[in-house]
Amino acid sequence: MLIYILEDDENIREIESYTLRTNGYETEDFETPQAFYNALTEKKPDLIILDIMLPGEDGLTVLKALKANNAYAEIPVIIISAKTTELDRVKGLDLGAEDYLCKPFGVMELVSRVKARLRRLDKKEIYSYCGIELSDGERTVFSDGERVELTYKEFELLKLLIGKPKTVFTREAILGSVWGYDDNLGRTLDMHINTLRKKLGSKGRYIITVRNVGYKLEKEEKDEA
């Protein structure tokens, strides 16, 4: 599998590239966003590793451009950055990054994160529950037969819940699966849940809050009749 690395620090870029190559991945490295964009037009990678502080154009702007382009939106992106505050991580993840790794990082952790993201590319299924249908391969969601437009994170959140209906997912488990780590981002999760409920219309009530624990997708007893 091919991984693109956009990182302006030569030493870090070499460490990332060497680590991934020794674990069986093909890599191409770029120092500037322009060189990265030029390569994208020639060949699409299976995954992108992205720094935030870059010359000319910051990594978040690059991420926005990728997720706004249908040709590249589905390529998983792992941000690796020296910007380590909660706000920085929330921004990156909410813009569509699949994972966020802070510098300095362990090379084995990098490999583990990459493997986890690439494994998800092989799992393209269709899920259906009580009038909600999600196609992982086509990245579509229907509620009562009506197409629902979700953001990347909303889609991943619904996919987690609909993959195991009636299962209670803890807040930590949801953050770890959808946002890539289990830091305390309760407000971000709650906002995504509320928006998802609204977008699903009448079926949104099936996303149930389990107090002091987390969330589950389950049909209410009064709807069984």
48 with 66: CB under 8 angstroms? Answer: yes
Tens of pLDDT along the chain (225 residues)? 899 999 999 999 999 999 999 999 999 999 999 999 999 988 889 999 999 999 989 999 999 999 888 788 889 999 999 988 888 888 888 888 989 999 988 999 999 999 988 887 666 678 999 999 998 877 889 999 899 999 888 998 999 999 999 999 998 889 888 877 655 566 888 999 999 999 999 999 999 999 989 999 998 765 544
- Rounded CA-CA distance 174/214 in Å is 8
Structural domains for the chain: 2-121 (3.40.50.2300), 126-223 (1.10.10.10)
| Closest among 64, 52, 49, 58 to 5, alpha carbons compared | 49
Q: Which residues is 216 bridged to in the sheet?
A: 208
Token pair 């309760």 in the structure block, residue = 186
Taking the complete model, does pTM exceed 0.85, yes or no? no
